[in-house]
Chains A and B, each alone.
Chain A
Amino acid sequence: MDKKQMRSRQKTTIKKVLHYIRKYWFYLFLSLLLAVVTVASTLYIPVLTGYAVDDIVAKGRVDFASLFQILKSMAVVIALTALAQWIMNVCNNKITYYVVRDIREEAFRKIEILPLKYVDAHQTGEIVSRVIADADQFSDGLLMGFTQFFTGVVTILGTLLFMLSIHVGITLVVVVVTPLSLFVAAFIAKKTFTMFKLQSETRGEQTALIDEMIGNQKVVQAFSQEEKVMERFDEINRRLQTCSLRAIFFSSITNPATRFVNGLVYTGVGIVGAFTAMRGGISVGQLACFLSYANQYTKPFNEISGVVTELQNALACAARLFELIEEEPQIPEPENAVALKEVKGHVELNQVGFSYVPDKKLIEDLSLDVAPGQRVAIVGPTGCGKTTVINLLMRFYDVDTGSIRVEGQDIRDVTRKSLRENYGMVLQETWLKAGTIRENIIMGKPDATDEEIREAAMATHAHSFIKRLPDGYDTYIGEDGGSLSQGQKQLLCITRVMLCLPPMLILDEATSSIDTRTELKIQEAFARLMKGKTSFIVAHRLSTIREADMILVMKDGKIIEQGNHESLLAKGGFYAKLYQSQFVHS
C-alpha cells in the first residue's frame, strides 16, 4: 500500500518533470538520438578491432590491405563517436540546467505570492533549502539520469545485439552469468541499507549535540560543563565509529565483489570462446571482441542501479520543490479591485474576528474607529500577539470575520499595492536588503532625488552616521544590514518611510536592544514622522502610551482592554497593573 502510494507519487512527479522538459523537446530528441549513435559506434569499435586482429594472424600472414581499410573505418567511427558524444553531453547540460532554472524561477515567483501564513509557519532555512539544495540535487540527478541511464540501457541492448550477431552460445554465457553480479550488488546494498540508516541517525544525533553545545558554548563554559559535554560527545562518537566502519566497509565490498563476478564472466567467455575458436566457430579477433564486451557488459548494470537511487533521490527533491510551487497562493485580488485614492487615514475595524489556528480564537469582535491623525497604541507583555494587528492592517493576513475599512472601503476590495502604499511600516525586527544605503532608503520611492534622500535622512538623524560611512550613501551593506548597529538599522528603516511619507503609519517601538541616545533620536524621528498621520504603534514607552488617543491592551493574543490612558487607569484592570508595576519597589 505504502509502496504503491509512493510509486504513484513518483509517477505524478515524473509527469510534472516531463512537463518542464517539454519546452526543450528538441534537445531531448537530439540527445536520445545521439545516445543511440554513440552507443552503436562505441560497440562497433571492438568488432572492428576484432576484424583487425583477424588480419594479423602470424608471421607473414598479415593482410595489410584489409587491415588498412579497417583501421581507416575505425578512425572515422572514433571521430564520429567523439563528436556525437560531445553534442549529446552539451544537449544534456542544456536540458538539465534550463529545466532547473525554470523550476527554480517558478518556485521563487511562488514565494513572492505565498500568503504570509505559509512563510510564518515554515522555517526560512527549510524553504531556502528547497529552492537551492533540492533544486541542485535534482539537477545533478537529472543530468546523471540523462547521461548514464539512457546510454546504459542502450548499451546493454546494443551489446546483446552485437554479441548475438557474432555467436549465440557465448552470448548465453554472458547473459546467464551477468545477473549474478547484479544479485551480489543488490544483496550488499540491501544488507548495508540499515547500516547506513543507523550511521546517518547517529550522525544526526551527533550534529544536534554539536549544534547545541558549540552554538551555546559561552553558557557551557560559564557553567564549566566542558567535561560532561565531552563525555556525551565521546559516547556518540564511539557509536558512530562502530556503525560507520560497518556501513563503509560492507558497502565497499560491492566493487570488489562485482569485479570478481565480472572476472568470472570474463573467464567463462575466455574458455567457451577458446573452445569455439578451436572448433572454428569464431575467429581469434571475434574472441577478443567478445572479451572486451564481457568486460564492459556489467558496467552499465552497476551504473544503472546507482543512477536509479540517484534518480529516486532527485525525484524526491523535485517532489518537495513541486510541493512549494503548488502551494496555495494568497487570495488573488478581485478583478474590479480599485486603487485607494486620497487617503486621509480613516481606518475602521468592524467586528473583526481572527485566529491563526481555527480552534484558538485570538481576536473576537474587535471594533475600532480611528479618525485621521489619531494615534493608537498597542500594549501588552512580550509575545502577546501585538504583531497580529499589524498583520491584519497590512493585509498580510485576512480577517476571518468582520471587516477592516480604509476610507470606508473594505481593504479586500482594493489593490494590495495601493493599500500598502498608504502605510508606512517600521518593524522592530529591522530588515535591510543587501545593497547600498541609498537602495535601501529609496525602496518606497525609487525616483527620489539625492536632495530628497538627504532631507529624509536629516529628518531622522540618519544622515550624520551615513556620511561617516566609507562611501556615504553608496556604502554597500551586506545581508541583514551587515556591520551596522541595531540602532543605525532602525534609523535607516525610519528614513525609508520618511522618504515617502504615507498617510498612515505602523510603528513598532524597539525594546531593549538600542542604546538610549540613539533611542532618543529614533523617538524624535518617530515623532516627526507621525505628525498629522494616523498611526498604530506597538508601544513599550510610557510617554508614547500616555499620549495615544486610544490604547489597545493585549494579553495572550487577545485584546482585553480598550480606551485611553486615564479611563484604563480608572478601570483598575490589567493595564493599570502593568502600568504601575514599573514603579513598584521593595
Chain B
Amino acid sequence: MKSLLVYLKGYKKETVLAPLFKMLEASFELLVPLVVTAIIDVGIAQQDKDYILKMGMLMIALGLIGLVCSITAQFYAAKAAVGFATGLRHALFQHIQSLSFAEMDTAGTSTLITRMTSDVNQVQSGVNLVLRLFLRSPFIVFGAMIMAFTIDVQAALIFVVTIPLLSIVVFGIMLISIPLYKKVQAGLDKVLGITRENLTGMRVIRAFHKEAEETEHFVESNQALTGVQMFVGRISALMNPITYVIVNGATIALLYCGAIRVDSGILTQGNVVALVNYMSQILVELVKLANLIITVTKAMACARRLEKVFDMQSSLKEKKQETKQEENTEGNSETETEDTVVEFKKASLTYQNAGEESLSGISLKVKRGQTIGIIGGTGSGKTSLVHLIPRFYDVTKGEVLVDGRNVMDYPIRELRHKIGMVMQKAVLFQGSIRDNLLWGNEDASEEELAEALHIAQAEEFVAQKPGGMDFVLTQGAKNLSGGQKQRLTIARALVRRPEILILDDSASALDFATDAALRQAIRGMEDGPTVFIVSQRAASIQYADQIIVLDDGKVAGLGRHEELLESCSVYQEIYYSQFPKENGQNTGREAVSHG
C-alpha cells in the first residue's frame, strides 16, 4: 500500500484538507446534543421563547456550516482519489507495457487486465472512503465520549466500558466472517468451474451421456456453497442484535446513573438527554467504521496485488545510448565484409522457473536473403529460437547477433524495427485494415500497403470487403476468418520492409495452395528479406536454403532438404510421417504432372 501512495503526491493539499473538513463537520455534529440540552434546561425550564428560537437558529447554522465543510471534504476526497487512480492507472499501464515476454508469461495477461481495471477501481474507492471517513468515525466515537466526560465523569465511565465492548463485538464478528467469505468465494469458484466446464465440454459430455452425473456434481457443489453462505450469514446476523443490546443496555445504565446524579442535583434533565443522544451517535458511527474497514481491507488486498505487479521488473536491460553509437560503426564494417544477417553463437535459453534449458547451444549463421526453415516437434524450441532474434527473451548463455552486433547492444526499438514478426496467433486490432497495416510502418504509402497485401495473398479478399482497406475490424478481428487474419498479419509485417521476416507457423490456417503462393511471392520480392519460416509442415520448409531441425531444444540437423533426408533421423521421421515413404516422391511427381 505504502509504495502506491506516491500517486497521491500531487494531491497533498486535498489529502490533508479532506479529512480535516470532515472532522470539522463532525465537531459541529457533536455540538448538536449540547444545544438540545440548552433548549431543555434553559429554554423550556425558563419558558424563554426567544432563547429557544435563538438556539434553533444556532442548530441550523451548525447544520449549514457542517454541510459546507462536508461538501468541501467530499470534493477534495473525490479529487484526490480520482487523481490518485488516474496516476496509478497510467503508471501501471506504462509499467505493464515495459514488461518483457518473460514477465508476461509468468503473470498472465488476464490477471494483469484485472489489476488494471477492477483492482484499481477498488483502491480508488478505498482511498476515497479513507479520506472521508477514517478520521471522522473514530473522531465521533471518541468525541462523543469526551463530550460525555465534559457533562459528567461518572456517567462517561459507562461510555468507557461500552465503546471497547462494542468494538470487540463489531470487529470480532468481522474478523470471524472475513475468512469465511473467502470460503464462500471458493465455493462460488467451484460452481463457476463446473458450469464453464459443462459449456466448453458439452459435446464430449453429451457424447458420453454424462449429463445426469454432471448435474449431480453441480447440485452437490451448489449445496455446499449454500451451506457455507448460511453459516456465514448466521454469524453476521448476530451483529445487529448484539450491538443493539449493548447500546440499549448502556442507555439503561445511563438513565439509572443519570437518575441518581439528577436526584442529587449534579446533573440536569437536559444533560441526561444529551448523554443518551451521544450514545446513539456512537452506534451509527461504529457500524459505518466496520463497513469502512471491510472496504479498506479489500482495497488493501488489491493494493498489495498492484504492488506485486510494480515489483516485476523487465528482465531486458537496455544498453546506454553512448556505447551503442561506437559499436554501431564497428558492427557495420563487420556486416559488410561477411554479410551475415543473423548469427547464433552457442545460444541457450532457460525460461524463468523452468528447470531445463529450452534451447541449448544453438549455433547458426544466416546470410542476407536466405530462407531458413525451422522444423521440429511441439516444445522443441522453434518459437523460442526465433523469439531470440527480436530479443523477446534474452539468451541465458551464448549470444545472438543481428548485423554483426549483439542484440543486447541495440536499443530495443531499433532492433525490432529491422524485423517483421508474424506470430503464431494471428492478432489484429480494432480499427480499419489500413490502421492495422500501418502498425508495420506509420509512413507507408498507399502503394506500399497494396504491395504488402499483394505479397501476403490478401489483396483479393481485402478488395472484396466493403470499403477495402477501410473495412473496420471488430475486436479480435472476429469478422475475418482465421486464414484472412493470418494473411493480414503477414502483410502488416511486410509493410515495414523488414530486413528479417519471421513467420512463426503463421500459415497454419492457409490451405496448401495459398501457403505455397505466399512463399513464392516473398521469394520474388526485390531486395527480399531474410526469411525464417517455422512450420510443422515439411512441405512449407522443404525448399529453404537451410533447414534447422530442432529436437528437445538442440539442433538435430542443419542443412538442405536432400542432405537432411539422408543424414538426419529426426527429419526423416517428420518428413515420412507426412509423405509416406514408398510413394511419397512418386506421388509428388505425379501430382506435378497433373498441375
Q: Do A and B come from one complex?
A: yes
Interface residues of B in 462-499 (CB under 8 A from A): 475-476, 481-483, 492, 496
Q: Are B195 and A131 within 8 A (Cβ)?
A: yes
Is A468 in contact with chain B by the CB < 8 A criterion? no
A253 to B73 alpha-carbon distance, docked (Å): 10
Among A53, A116, A274, point to the contact of B272 (Cβ < 8 A). Answer: A53
Is A8 in contact with chain B by the CB < 8 A criterion? no
Q: Are A112 and B214 within 8 A (Cβ)?
A: yes
Q: Which residue of B lies closest to A42 (CB)?
A: B244
Task: Give the contact stretch, choosing among B158-166, B219-227, B324-332.
Answer: B219-227
- Cβ–Cβ < 8 Å partners of B439 in chain A: 223, 225
Is A308 in contact with chain B by the CB < 8 A criterion? no
Q: Identify 18 new A-B residue pairs, CB closer than 8 A, beyond the known A396-B203, A586-B516.
A: A71-B255, A212-B430, A215-B113, A218-B104, A237-B93, A241-B82, A263-B59, A271-B53, A278-B43, A291-B36, A383-B483, A431-B200, A431-B201, A514-B378, A516-B377, A516-B573, A543-B580, A585-B516
Bits for B204-229, please: 1 = Cβ < 8 Å to A, else 0: 10111111001100110011011001
Bits for A479-513, please: 1 = Cβ < 8 Å to B, else 0: 11000011100000100100000000000000111
Task: Give the contact stretch, choosing among B95-103, B147-155, B334-342, B450-458.
Answer: B95-103
Is A361 in contact with chain B by the CB < 8 A criterion? no
- Cβ–Cβ < 8 Å partners of A221 in chain B: 97, 100-101, 392, 416
Q: Which residue of B lies closest to A431 (CB)?
A: B201
Task: Give the contact stretch, choosing among A59-67, A347-355, A366-374.
Answer: A59-67
- Cβ–Cβ < 8 Å partners of A253 in chain B: 71, 74
- Cβ–Cβ < 8 Å partners of B3 in chain A: none
Interface residues of A in 105-161 (CB under 8 A from B): 105, 108-109, 111-113, 116, 119, 124, 127-128, 131-132, 136
Q: Are B97 and A277 within 8 A (Cβ)?
A: no
Bits for A90-103, please: 1 = Cβ < 8 Å to B, else 0: 10011001101100
**Top 5 A-B pairs, shortest CB-CB distance:** A515-B377, A581-B513, A89-B237, A59-B265, A263-B63
Q: Are B202 and A230 within 8 A (Cβ)?
A: no
Among B66, B417, B511, point to the contact of A256 (Cβ < 8 A). Answer: B66
Q: Are A581 and B249 within 8 A (Cβ)?
A: no
Q: Are A97 and B508 within 8 A (Cβ)?
A: no
Q: Are B208 and A136 within 8 A (Cβ)?
A: no
Q: Are B49 and A275 within 8 A (Cβ)?
A: yes
Q: Are A284 and B52 within 8 A (Cβ)?
A: no
Is B79 in contact with chain A by the CB < 8 A criterion? yes
In the complex, how many angstroms separate the beta carbon of B434 from the nearest chain A beta carbon? Answer: 15
Query: Knowing A233-B90, A579-B591 touch, does A257 contact B67 (C-beta < 8 A)?
Result: yes
Q: Are B193 and A487 within 8 A (Cβ)?
A: no
- Cβ–Cβ < 8 Å partners of A432 in chain B: 201
- Cβ–Cβ < 8 Å partners of A517 in chain B: 377, 573
- Cβ–Cβ < 8 Å partners of B81 in chain A: 248
Query: Knowing A207-B117, A541-B578 touch, does A212 contact B516 (C-beta < 8 A)?
Result: no
Q: Which residue of B lies closest to A63 (CB)?
A: B259
Is A224 in contact with chain B by the CB < 8 A criterion? yes
Q: Are B259 and A85 within 8 A (Cβ)?
A: no
Q: Which residue of A lies closest to B387 (CB)?
A: A218
Is B78 in contact with chain A by the CB < 8 A criterion? yes
Q: Which residue of A lies closest to B239 (CB)?
A: A89
Is A381 in contact with chain B by the CB < 8 A criterion? yes
Is B89 in contact with chain A by the CB < 8 A criterion? yes
Interface residues of B in 31-80 (CB under 8 A from A): 32, 35-36, 39-40, 43-44, 47, 49, 52-53, 55-56, 59-60, 62-64, 66-67, 70-71, 74-75, 77-79
Task: Give the contact stretch, choosing among B175-183, B294-302, B536-544.
Answer: B536-544
Task: Give the contact stretch, choosing among A404-412, A413-421, A454-462, A527-535.
Answer: A413-421
Query: Knowing A218-B101, A264-B63 touch, does A59 contact B109 (C-beta < 8 A)?
Result: no
- Cβ–Cβ < 8 Å partners of A132 in chain B: 188, 191-192, 195
Is B461 in contact with chain A by the CB < 8 A criterion? no
A396 to B400 alpha-carbon distance, docked (Å): 52
In the complex, how many angstroms separate the beta carbon of A2 from the nearest chain B beta carbon? Answer: 28
Main SS at interface, chain A: helix
Is B258 in contact with chain A by the CB < 8 A criterion? yes
Is B577 in contact with chain A by the CB < 8 A criterion? yes
A67 to B258 alpha-carbon distance, docked (Å): 11
In the complex, how many angstroms separate the beta carbon of B256 from the nearest chain A beta carbon? Answer: 6
- Cβ–Cβ < 8 Å partners of B404 in chain A: none
Q: Are A248 and B78 within 8 A (Cβ)?
A: yes
Task: Give the contact stretch, choosing among B347-355, B359-367, B421-429.
Answer: B421-429
Q: Are A109 and B215 within 8 A (Cβ)?
A: yes
Is A57 in contact with chain B by the CB < 8 A criterion? yes
Is B167 in contact with chain A by the CB < 8 A criterion? no
Q: Which residue of A lies closest to B74 (CB)?
A: A252
- Cβ–Cβ < 8 Å partners of A343 in chain B: none
Is B563 in contact with chain A by the CB < 8 A criterion? no
Q: Are A383 and B204 within 8 A (Cβ)?
A: no
In the complex, how many angstroms separate the beta carbon of B595 from the nearest chain A beta carbon? Answer: 5
Bits for B233-247, please: 1 = Cβ < 8 Å to A, else 0: 110011011101100
A271 to B110 alpha-carbon distance, docked (Å): 61
A429 to B211 alpha-carbon distance, docked (Å): 20
Among A94, A233, A259, point to the contact of B230 (Cβ < 8 A). Answer: A94
- Cβ–Cβ < 8 Å partners of B24 in chain A: none
- 6 CB contacts below 8 A, A to B, read A131-B191, A215-B113, A217-B96, A271-B53, A434-B193, A514-B378
A140 to B413 alpha-carbon distance, docked (Å): 50
Among A264, A275, A543, point to the contact of B60 (Cβ < 8 A). Answer: A264
Among B52, B269, B539, B577, point to the contact of A274 (Cβ < 8 A). Answer: B52
Is A433 in contact with chain B by the CB < 8 A criterion? yes
- Cβ–Cβ < 8 Å partners of A220 in chain B: 97
A108 to B190 alpha-carbon distance, docked (Å): 14
Question: Which size class do A's interface residues fall under?
Answer: 35 or more
- Cβ–Cβ < 8 Å partners of A309 in chain B: none
Is B592 in contact with chain A by the CB < 8 A criterion? yes
- Cβ–Cβ < 8 Å partners of A523 in chain B: 577
Is B376 in contact with chain A by the CB < 8 A criterion? yes
Q: Are A274 and B378 within 8 A (Cβ)?
A: no
Q: Are B207 and A55 within 8 A (Cβ)?
A: no
In the complex, how many angstroms separate the beta carbon of B229 from the nearest chain A beta carbon? Answer: 5
Query: Knowing A417-B209, A516-B536, A576-B594 touch, does A223 contact B440 (C-beta < 8 A)?
Result: yes
Q: Are B573 and A82 within 8 A (Cβ)?
A: no
Q: Are B82 and A245 within 8 A (Cβ)?
A: yes
Is B505 in contact with chain A by the CB < 8 A criterion? yes
- Cβ–Cβ < 8 Å partners of A493 in chain B: 204
Is A578 in contact with chain B by the CB < 8 A criterion? yes
Among A52, A233, A514, point to the contact of B93 (Cβ < 8 A). Answer: A233
Q: Are A79 and B245 within 8 A (Cβ)?
A: yes
Q: Are A62 and B417 within 8 A (Cβ)?
A: no
Among A74, A278, A479, point to the contact of B248 (Cβ < 8 A). Answer: A74
Bits for B256-285, please: 1 = Cβ < 8 Å to A, else 0: 101110111100111011001100100000
A484 to B118 alpha-carbon distance, docked (Å): 31
Bits for A259-284, please: 1 = Cβ < 8 Å to B, else 0: 11001101100110011011000001
A583 to B515 alpha-carbon distance, docked (Å): 11
A486 to B535 alpha-carbon distance, docked (Å): 17
- Cβ–Cβ < 8 Å partners of B577 in chain A: 516, 519-520, 523
- Cβ–Cβ < 8 Å partners of A222 in chain B: 390, 392, 416, 419, 421, 423
Query: Knowing A124-B196, A241-B83, A517-B377 touch, does A71 contact B234 (C-beta < 8 A)?
Result: no
Among A136, A238, A443, A583, point to the contact of B188 (Cβ < 8 A). Answer: A136
Q: Are B203 and A425 within 8 A (Cβ)?
A: yes
Q: Are B202 and A116 within 8 A (Cβ)?
A: yes
Query: Knowing A237-B90, A517-B573 touch, does A216 contact B262 (C-beta < 8 A)?
Result: no
A212 to B515 alpha-carbon distance, docked (Å): 28
Is A297 in contact with chain B by the CB < 8 A criterion? no
A132 to B187 alpha-carbon distance, docked (Å): 11
Is A240 in contact with chain B by the CB < 8 A criterion? yes
Q: Are A420 and B207 within 8 A (Cβ)?
A: yes
Is A356 in contact with chain B by the CB < 8 A criterion? no
A479 to B189 alpha-carbon distance, docked (Å): 12
Is B432 in contact with chain A by the CB < 8 A criterion? no
